[in-house]
Structure 1
């Protein structure tokens, strides 16, 4: 039962899918399709520089009439990043995602990118926590008779 980001990453894994800032949007979309993810962490000189998501593609390429093969990721990536650290709670992640309307949180430890938490990861962790609590309460109630 994951209550912290560290525990969540231990369960789901630390895989982080990235794309260089200078890559084309088309290359980023190909990478997203291969890994079946909705966002990539964008790196510049090995450091987190932004996030490129399906939302960025829809709003900044398609709706603006741009071409994915002619546009670099750094031109359209989200740069106002909301990040978490491994000691943050899953509930804190849900709060950040709700308040900032984001679906992916880069996980930084000592300035290094060590994972990504998605809205799906958070919902799954919260559902598991609730199922555990319900089972404990049922066990308590049955034992109290």
Structure 2
């Protein structure tokens, strides 16, 4: 089975971060520049939260707050679940489905080593299934 580490090896290793005191506007500008839907919030080298486009919409826009004046710490998700690189992608999918997350940081001991999205997982599962189908076709046809 494919592990989180396998998945991380096959995707860009960029992890985009902001500080808790950065404005939400600056975080959104970074998300726009990098065409991403989440930034991780790092304080003194530690992962303390994450900010998604959904957080912005629900916690700022709907409450008529200013993104230029609101620090990331006021709207970021602070209960951040994570996964270890040796876990299988099915473990990620189960955790993300159960907790309704779209993004999951990957931590090796206390070190941030990557980030996986639900899209990354779906792509990996499809690739695994496609490989299995091809192997079965070869077996059946005697090749």
Give TM class, smaller chain: over 0.9
- How far apart, CA to CA, are the structure 1 residues paired with 2:88 and 2:132? 17
Q: CA deviation at 1:13?
A: 3.0
Q: Which piece of structure 1 moves more, 125-134 or 2-11?
A: 2-11
RMSD: 1.1
Q: CA deviation at 1:62?
A: 0.5
| SS of residue matched to 1:105 | strand
Match of 1:20 in 2: 19
Q: CA deviation at 1:14?
A: 2.2
Normalised by the length of structure 2, the TM-score is 0.97
Q: What 5-or-longer segments of structure 2 have no aligned partner?
A: none
Q: What 5-or-longer segments of structure 1 have no aligned partner?
A: none
Match of 1:31 in 2: 30
| SS of residue matched to 1:16 | coil
| SS of residue matched to 1:43 | strand
Match of 1:136 in 2: 135
Q: Please give the residue correspondences for 1:1-145 in structure 2 after superposition, counting only pairs within 5 Å.
A: 3-143=2-142
